[in-house]
Chain A
Amino acid sequence: MRALLAVAFDLLREARSRKWFLGLFAAVSLTLLGLSLFLRLEVVDGALSASRLFGSLLSADAQPADVALRPVFLTVAFLGYVLGAVFLVVACADFAPGLLSPGRIEQLLSLPVARWQLLCGTYLGLLSLAALAGGYGALGVVVLFGVKTGVWEWRLLWSAAFGVECFAVLAAAMLATATVVRSAAVSAGAALVLFVLGAIASAQKPIGEAIETPALRTLFGLAVAPLPRLGTLCIFACQVLEDRALDGRAALRLSAGALVFAFALLAFAVHRFERKDF
């Protein structure tokens, strides 16, 4: 466990010095700072009476603050899920190929660390990175609007958790790909293709209904059956913010399915890695 954490810690330390992550941190921080300074929300008796950004009136319709802010939180959740996943895939694509690069992997394998620990530690590091990025952004938004309006939308952290879960699937795909082809571009490509396929799999029913040939429809169903429903996870990430109750059982089933898929990919990666000569 100690070795696993040490590998994960090293990945975080490496990420700290990368421009991608410094840029992300700066962008999120500046956005939050900018909004905290220049977004004025006037709340009277729990109702949002006016909102101004840089002095310009955005809205003067009076409505309950939580209702008025819901579209904002939904937009944050949706964009955070989609853009966050894409950003993290691109920014993290070369961690696994870097781990496996000649001259580095030989040294790591000569240390008293098991091969599975190297790979799983890297995976843990990637997930920690996603959790830190998602948590920082979500918490920043919650605190920003909480302080300005008194609406503390803690459920945004749940949305971020769904985003991290989505990235867990994509990160496993990147690791598995890297054990086959040591290329950051191919790793990122594989993860992004899986992201799109995961969205398609989420729309299996309407797409299937649109396919007229029964054989093709069956084939499509079989092809997407094992894929994680990453699109539906995104919908859950948004629905968790709405007042109507989330179908907890469906969310749990889908989350478990996505995690099983991620662990299967990770198991494949470990299997390949354990038998690989360097």
Chain B
Amino acid sequence: MDAALEVVGLTKAWPRGQPGRAFALDRLDLSVPRGSTYALVGPNGAGKTTFIKLLLGIARPTSGTVRLLGGSPDDARVRARLGYLPEKLHLPLAWTALEYLQSIARLKRATAPLLPLLERVGLPAHAHAALRTFSKGMRQRLGLAAALVGAPELLVLDEPTDGIDPLGRVEVRALLREERAKGTTVLLNSHLLAESEQVCDRVGILHLGRLVREGPLEALTRTAGYCLRFESPPAPELLTAHALTALDDGGYLFPGDDARALNATLAALLAKGCTLTALEPRSASLEQVLQEAVG
């Protein structure tokens, strides 16, 4: 599997120690395939931002190795191929949006026109407005545009929708999907789990500096059983006979993943006049998976 980023044994000790915890990151191994959209989730203090800083060479690891796009993050040629949106972006407020992007483009040696980027993040009308007049959400959108300068192969976004209104979040999600369609690898650090679920295909759960769960989103959220929905509620004796449990959302839980047993149950219910309207594999939300993973 071709990895866009790969870390092995990545460890970062706290600079001055921390009661009860010696490491911000502890022997982390992680590989993100090219073209995937990867969500890094975890509670506050899990080490997500530290991980991103080590990944980009903003902080130095105590031990372990980082490979980004096949090279080292210390290599300027590698950094030229990535885009980054920090968690709390600090902008030069006297500049205009276009001047800011021009500055980033100069440092990245990117020559593509910048106005289309402002259009992509919904700020075309504000190209010549001073950044001091921008709301938090607009600044965040601009940060996103800055991360997209130079058409990066890897996008590292730390809380990209922070401060953006609900409609804006929809636009950001659409933009991330566009990037994924273009083959860009996206590493997303977000507290908004539902949002991560909508755009990411892989998830890593960090807790106390360790990767406690990792894999494709479907595999992580998949739980045993199927959810059955009927036109009208089946008789209680039928539910008892086939070990079906009523769920809060109006569906019925078929326990286990045995396809033969499922088919037999369905045949019996249909023979008794029940009309099946939906059959869904049972899955947990990312929030539930996170809760379960971090205890």
Residue of B nearest to A278 (CB): B58
Chain B residues near A107: list those with CB within 8 A: 84-86, 89-90, 143, 146
8 Å CB contact of A104 from B57, B60, B84, B90: B90
Q: In the complex, which of the residues A13, A102, A277 has the most CB atoms of chain B within 10 Å of its own CB atom?
A: A277
Whether B77 is near chain A, meaning CB under 8 Å from some CB there, is yes
CB <8 Å contact, B88 and A112 = no
Q: In the complex, which of the residues A101, A103, A107, A114 has the most CB atoms of chain B within 10 Å of its own CB atom?
A: A107
CB <8 Å contact, B84 and A6 = no
State which residues 14-38 of A face B: CB under 8 Å: 14, 17-18
Q: How far is the CA of A114 from the CA of B99 in the complex (A)?
A: 22
8 Å CB contact of A106 from B76, B84, B103, B107: B84
Chain B residues near A83: list those with CB within 8 A: none
Q: In the complex, which of the residues A101, A103, A114 has the most CB atoms of chain B within 10 Å of its own CB atom?
A: A103
Interface size class of chain B, counting residues whose CB lies under 8 Å from the partner chain: 20 to 34
CB <8 Å contact, B58 and A106 = yes
Residue of A nearest to B85 (CB): A107
Secondary structure at the B interface, as helix, strand, loop or mixed, is: mixed
Instruction: Convert A102-122 into 0s and 1s, putting 1 for each residue whose CB lies closer than 8 angstroms to a CB of B.
Output: 111111111111100000000
Whether A256 is near chain B, meaning CB under 8 Å from some CB there, is no
Residue of B nearest to A19 (CB): B94
Chain A residues near B106: list those with CB within 8 A: 6, 9-10
CB <8 Å contact, B60 and A277 = yes
Q: How far is the CA of A39 from the CA of B82 in the complex (A)?
A: 60
8 Å CB contact of B57 from A6, A14, A17, A109: A109
Residue of A nearest to B93 (CB): A17
8 Å CB contact of B99 from A13, A101, A108: A13
State which residues 225-258 of B face A: CB under 8 Å: none
8 Å CB contact of A3 from B94, B104, B107: B107
State which residues 77-115 of B face A: CB under 8 Å: 77, 79-80, 82, 84-92, 94-95, 99, 103-104, 106-109
Q: How far is the CA of A109 from the CA of B52 in the complex (A)?
A: 12
Q: How far is the CA of A2 from the CA of B84 in the complex (A)?
A: 21
Whether B222 is near chain A, meaning CB under 8 Å from some CB there, is no
State which residues 38-85 of B face A: CB under 8 Å: 53, 56-60, 76-77, 79-80, 82, 84-85
Chain A residues near B85: list those with CB within 8 A: 107
Whether B19 is near chain A, meaning CB under 8 Å from some CB there, is no
Q: How far is the CA of A13 from the CA of B93 in the complex (A)?
A: 12
Q: Decide: A110 near B89, CB < 8 A? Known: A6-B103, A13-B95, A278-B53.
A: no
Residue of A nearest to B156 (CB): A110
CB <8 Å contact, A103 and B89 = yes
Chain B residues near A114: list those with CB within 8 A: 76
CB <8 Å contact, B108 and A112 = yes
Chain B residues near A102: list those with CB within 8 A: 88, 90
Chain B residues near A104: list those with CB within 8 A: 89-91
Instruction: Convert B274-289 into 0s and 1s, putting 1 for each residue whose CB lies closer than 8 angstroms to a CB of A.
Output: 0000000000000000
Q: How far is the CA of A2 from the CA of B53 in the complex (A)?
A: 25
8 Å CB contact of B94 from A17, A111, A275, A277: A17
CB <8 Å contact, B53 and A106 = yes
Residue of B nearest to A103 (CB): B90
Q: Decide: A111 near B90, CB < 8 A? Known: A14-B95, A277-B58.
A: no
Q: How far is the CA of A150 from the CA of B88 in the complex (A)?
A: 58
Q: How far is the CA of A278 from the CA of B91 in the complex (A)?
A: 17
User: 28 A–B contact pairs at CB < 8 A?
Assistant: A6-B106, A13-B103, A14-B95, A18-B94, A101-B90, A103-B87, A103-B88, A103-B89, A103-B90, A104-B90, A104-B91, A106-B84, A106-B86, A107-B85, A107-B143, A107-B146, A109-B57, A109-B58, A110-B79, A110-B156, A111-B79, A112-B79, A112-B80, A112-B108, A114-B76, A277-B53, A277-B58, A277-B60
Query: Which A-B residue pairs are the 3 nearest by beta carbons?
Result: A103-B90, A17-B94, A277-B59
- Given A14-B95, A109-B56, A112-B108, 20 additional A-B pairs, CB 8 A: A6-B107, A10-B92, A10-B103, A10-B106, A13-B95, A14-B92, A14-B94, A18-B94, A103-B89, A104-B89, A104-B90, A106-B53, A106-B84, A107-B86, A107-B146, A110-B82, A110-B86, A111-B108, A112-B79, A278-B59
